[in-house]
């Protein structure tokens, strides 16, 4: 297949692109680096020229926080809806939407709410759509992974409350594999959660990130939830990852059954290992 991949230069997008090529597909990338600015792609007519000779579309564009002209409403809702409409007009039936776990009608964050608008619009179209909703994605050079790894290196590891909030982190290559495999599914019009095989508390996850960097188990700094929210109101100016809404999402604890993920992958997701947090280049530097 010739696959239009939006967000092809992002963390997940790069891995999906590599998995597509490995699977024998041709990738047509769409990103700002390739001259496609999502903030200006809010009409279906904007997308039609990019869909020539395309067999399937994977929408992988996403932001964790609003910065400058990058707004949730545009990036997660308006531009994807325009793309989905263009697919319907161009006769491109297979559309894979990368959403997020917790994208439900009761969602409270602008992140989830904007994703939900696009998800529901896609569900309304007569296309062979699949919506994939990953949990926390980790791997080398992931924005959230890098931020949390820096926090894990601190002499006192900051956690919210008792740190027992449960995560189901999934390795980025497993997510990419699931995306590529979904291109050939006969059963479509499905929404599938993608989660890791381990339920890990936030406090334990921070210790795992610390130990992956060769550090001994650290002491925890327990921060009351309300104080943590106030701190992140300042932290979000440093990194979009440090936004109060992301803390609220952590507290909400979106969980799912790993059986869905196993069905998509055809096997169990990889268990967490130290080496999965680093690229081959980083490993070579550490060994030298």
Cα distances from 119 to residues 56, 189, 200, in angstroms, run 17, 11, 28
Lowest mean pLDDT among 116-120, 241-245, 254-258: 241-245
Cα 179 to Cα 12, 38, 56, distances in angstroms:
10, 21, 12
At 65, the pLDDT band (50, 70, 90 cuts) reads confident
**66-96 pLDDT tens trace:** 888 889 999 999 999 999 999 999 999 999 9
Summarize the confidence of residues 22-28 as an average pLDDT.
Answer: 97
pLDDT of residue 234: 79
The enclosing H or E element of 34 equals none
* pLDDT recorded at residue 284: 43
Q: Domain 2-287 sits in which CATH superfamily?
A: NAD(P)-binding Rossmann-like Domain (3.40.50.720)
Give the pLDDT of residue 242.
75
Nearest Cα to Cα of residue 28 among 11, 47, 50: 50
Q: Cβ(129)–Cβ(189) under 8 Å?
A: yes
Examine the pLDDT at 250 and tell me if it is beyond 90: no
Burial of 111 (0-12, 13-18, 19+ CB in 10 A): buried
Which is nearest to 99 in space by CA: 59, 142, 40? Answer: 59
- Please give the average per-residue pLDDT across 125-142, as a whole number: 95
Predicted TM-score (pTM) of the model is 0.92
Alpha-carbon distance of 197 to 182, in angstroms, equals 19
Secondary structure of residue 133 in the 3-state scheme: strand
Say if residue 56's pLDDT is above 90.
yes
pLDDT category at 281 given cuts 50, 70, 90 is low
Q: What is the mean pLDDT of the chain?
A: 92
| Mean pLDDT score, 99-121 | 93
> Which among 205, 76, 80 is positioned nearest to 152, based on CA atoms?
205
Provide the 3-class DSSP secondary structure of residue 2: strand
Q: Which of 16, 17, 96 is nearest to 55 (CA)?
A: 96
Residue 57 sits at φ, ψ, to 5 deg, of: -125, 135
pLDDT of residue 285: 53
Mean pLDDT of the 168-195 span: 97
Q: How much is the pLDDT for 280? A: 57
199-226 confidence digits (pLDDT tens):
999 999 999 999 999 999 999 999 998 9
* Phi, psi for residue 111 in degrees, rounded to 5: -60, -55
pLDDT band of residue 288 (cuts 50, 70, 90) is very low
Residue 282, pLDDT > 70, answer no
The residue ranges of every structural domain in the chain are 2-287
Q: What is the pLDDT of residue 10?
A: 93
Beta-bridged to residue 95, according to DSSP, are: 57, 129
């Amino acid at each position: 297949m010739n696959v239009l991949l939006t967000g092809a230069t992002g963390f997940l997008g790069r891995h999906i692109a590599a998995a597509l090529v490995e699977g024998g597909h041709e990738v047509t990338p769409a990103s700002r680096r390739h001259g496609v600015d999502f903030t200006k792609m809010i009409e279906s007519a904007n997308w039609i020229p990019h869909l020539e000779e395309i067999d399937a579309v994977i929408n992988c564009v996403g932001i964790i926080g609003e910065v400058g002209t990058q707004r949730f409403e545009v990036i997660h809702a308006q531009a994807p809806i325009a793309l989905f409409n263009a697919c319907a007009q161009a006769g491109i039936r297979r559309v894979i939407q990368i959403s997020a776990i917790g994208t439900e009608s009761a969602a409270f964050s602008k992140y989830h709410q904007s994703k939900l608008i696009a998800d529901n619009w896609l569900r309304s179209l007569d296309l062979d759509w699949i919506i994939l909703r990953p949990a926390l994605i980790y791997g080398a050079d992931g924005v959230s992974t890098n931020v949390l790894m820096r926090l894990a290196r601190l002499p006192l590891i900051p956690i919210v409350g008792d740190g027992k909030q449960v995560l189901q982190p999934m390795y980025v290559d497993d997510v990419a594999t699931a995306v590529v495999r979904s291109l050939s599914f006969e059963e479509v019009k499905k929404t599938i959660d993608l989660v890791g095989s381990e339920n890990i508390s936030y406090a334990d996850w921070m210790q795992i990130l610390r130990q992956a960097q060769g550090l001994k188990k650290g002491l925890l700094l327990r921060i009351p939830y309300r104080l943590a929210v106030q701190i992140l109101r300042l932290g979000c100016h440093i990194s979009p990852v440090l936004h109060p809404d992301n803390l609220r999402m952590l507290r909400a604890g979106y969980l799912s059954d790993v059986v869905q993920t196993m069905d998509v992958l055809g096997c169990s997701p990889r268990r967490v290992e130290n080496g999965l947090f680093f690229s081959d280049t980083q490993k070579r530097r550490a060994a030298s």
